[in-house]
Amino acid sequence: MKTKPENRHVLIASDEEILQMTLLKAFQRTDYQVYSAKDGLEALYLVKTFSVTEKPFNLLLVDSQLPKLSCLELFQQLRKLEIYTSAIIITSPNQKKLEQKLRSIEKNSIIKRPFLVNDLLNIVEQVFENISGAR
């Protein structure tokens, strides 16, 4: 059973305007409702705000190098708030230590740069299939 389109809420968190615009454009061709944040603090605010609504985020796409609140700090804050959301973290090839720390956080996948947008969309679809299967 697929997740209904109105229940597919994705947050893209990246300070890289080109990456954000590319991903937002790619998601326009899908059923996902997509929002964006330009730094870790804005991402934390949006996740907290949406978590108390009927439409919390099902998936976070997070750049590993966020300003104001790092990717790792973002997930630590979310855990403190008991907000557990699936995530795909976008890393650079030289971030092995960070990847190890991020893998210890539940419900996340890692995709390394450079990547094809279609590969990312396939991973996103797999995440939503897993979410649907867990119900």
CATH code assigned at 80:
3.40.50.2300
Separation CA 36–CA 82 (nearest Å): 22
pLDDT at 54: 82
CA–CA gap between residue 88 and residue 126 (Å, rounded):
11
pLDDT, position 116: 95
Residue range of the domain that includes 24: 5-133
Q: How far apart are CA 135 and CA 126, in angstroms?
A: 15
Residues in the chain where the model's pLDDT stays below 70:
1-6, 106-107, 134-135
* Structure-token match 């539940």, residue found: 106
Contact 132, 2 (CB under 8 A): yes
**What's residue 1's pLDDT?**
41
> Residues 30, 56, 102, CA angle at the centre, nearest 5°?
85
Q: Are 87 and 62 in contact (CB under 8 A)?
A: yes
pTM over 0.85, yes/no: yes
Work out how many domains the chain is built from and give that number.
Answer: 1
